[in-house]
Amino acid sequence: MIPKNPKNDNIIINEEKFQSHKLMTNDVIIKLDRVNFKRESDLVRGCGSYLKFSHQQHQQTKEKRNKLKEANFCKFRFCPMCSWRRTRNITGQLLEALEAVEAKISVSYLFLTLTTQNPQINDLKATVKHLNDSFQRLSQTKGYKNAVLGHFKGLELLGDNTPTGEAHPHFHILLIVQKSYFTSRDYISQAKWTKMWGKALRADYTPIVHIQAIKQKKNSKLTRLQSAVLEVAKYAVKHTELTTRTDDDFRAIINQTKRMRFFSTSGILKEKINLLKADDDLINFKEKTEALWLEIEEVFYEWRDGNYFLKK
């Protein structure tokens, strides 16, 4: 029943994502140690040191699977293991919410990217507050309220080739609009989005704004909904971007982002997504919605020497 490895019967071999993300924590731990964040380093080092799975069988198809039931996740914002679990939860909730919306009304989706000039990393917290305040002003405009039924907004902190000492905070936003949006009087052009954001940002320059419809991608196994979700629910900072920054930049990013919120919703998505739960519950074990899966046994694994081993 339990997966075996020909070289060592105790090593887990069918949970590669847990192993790969656990291994990714090494770079973060090394960096945290170098900048003397001992508490955070200890948290990440212990993250995912044990996993409890519910080994299950489907009562009709007889398919078997392992479903995560318990783990000691550290919940440090930039832990690769926790970031993966958090993003997984959010994408799952967002997909379910959009499916619920589509069951009631016919909608289309827009992918909006809003930027500002790169601040110094030591000004990141203040810049993100200004971005959030600016987006609030944008969302209260008549044009926005007439066009948008709801949104999901994610914050990203760095971009490709962001210079040392700088950050690149920007929003990735999934907008839900009526199916008739593109031919209606509420349609907003690229130029108008740019003008609206510049005004809300109170900028003395023209900020970079991208807006595009999300459609089914050719030769892709992803549905239109899945494509929309994956575009917006990204990591705030990829661990590879974070750990390759200078020690000063790394330290400043950690300090500047404490208690920072990275996702928000509005409109018809507001009551359909529990962001606090997605941020806190990294297990997401849904017993009630999976009644056809019968638990055969509980399986425990512990992390040792770069592998998860079955705990006797």
Model confidence at 278: pLDDT above 80 = no
Q: Which pLDDT does position 2 carry in this prediction?
A: 42
Model confidence at 235: pLDDT above 90 = no
Q: Which pLDDT does position 221 carry in this prediction?
A: 76
Give the residue, 279 or 104, on which the prediction is more confident. 104
Regarding whether 176 and 271 lie in a shared domain, the answer is yes
Model confidence at 209: pLDDT above 70 = yes
Which of 48-62, 156-170, 184-198, 262-276 ranks highest by mean pLDDT? Answer: 184-198
Any domain includes 87: no
Regarding whether 239 and 150 lie in a shared domain, the answer is yes
Regarding whether 137 and 36 lie in a shared domain, the answer is no
The residues facing 294 across adjacent strands are 57
Least confident of 44-48, 101-105, 181-185, 207-211: 101-105
Any domain includes 199: yes
Q: Domain of 214?
A: 92-282
- In angstroms, the CA 282 to CA 307 distance is 21
Any domain includes 80: no
Regarding whether 203 and 127 lie in a shared domain, the answer is yes
Model confidence at 3: pLDDT above 50 = no
State the pLDDT confidence band at 176, using cuts at 50, 70 and 90.
very high
Regarding whether 175 and 35 lie in a shared domain, the answer is no
Summarize the confidence of residues 121-147 as an average pLDDT. Answer: 97
Residue-wise pLDDT tens digits, 87-97: 888 888 888 88
Regarding whether 151 and 122 lie in a shared domain, the answer is yes
Regarding whether 299 and 222 lie in a shared domain, the answer is no
Any domain includes 299: yes
Among the listed residues 250, 233, 74, the one whose alpha carbon sits nearest the alpha carbon of residue 162: 250
Summarize the confidence of residues 100-104 as an average pLDDT. Answer: 90
DSSP secondary structure letters along the chain:
-----SS-TTB--S-HHHHHHHHHHHHHHHHHHHTT-HHHHHHHHHTTSEEEEEEEEETTT--EEEEEEEE-----TT-HHHHHHHHHHHHHHHHHHHHHHHHHS-EEEEEEEEE-PPPBGGGHHHHHHHHHHHHHHHHTSHHHHHHEEEEEEEEE---TTPPTTB---EEEEEEEEETTGGGSTT---HHHHHHHHHHHHT-SS---EEEEE--PPTT-SS-HHHHHHHHHS--SS-HHHHHTS-HHHHHHHHHHTTT---EEEEETTTTT--HHHHHH-S----STT-TTEEEEEEEEEEEETTEEEE--
Any domain includes 222: yes
Domain tally for the chain? Answer: 2
Regarding whether 129 and 208 lie in a shared domain, the answer is yes
Model confidence at 295: pLDDT above 90 = no
Torsion angles phi and psi, residue 156, rounded to 5: -120, 140
Regarding whether 239 and 216 lie in a shared domain, the answer is yes
Q: Which pLDDT does position 7 carry in this prediction?
A: 45
Any domain includes 6: yes
Model confidence at 234: pLDDT above 60 = yes
Residue pointed to by tokens 């031919």: 183
Any domain includes 181: yes
- In angstroms, the CA 254 to CA 157 distance is 11
Q: Which pLDDT does position 1 carry in this prediction?
A: 42
Regarding whether 309 and 182 lie in a shared domain, the answer is no
Regarding whether 245 and 104 lie in a shared domain, the answer is yes
Regarding whether 262 and 209 lie in a shared domain, the answer is yes
Any domain includes 85: no
Model confidence at 6: pLDDT above 50 = no
Summarize the confidence of residues 201-227 as an average pLDDT. Answer: 85
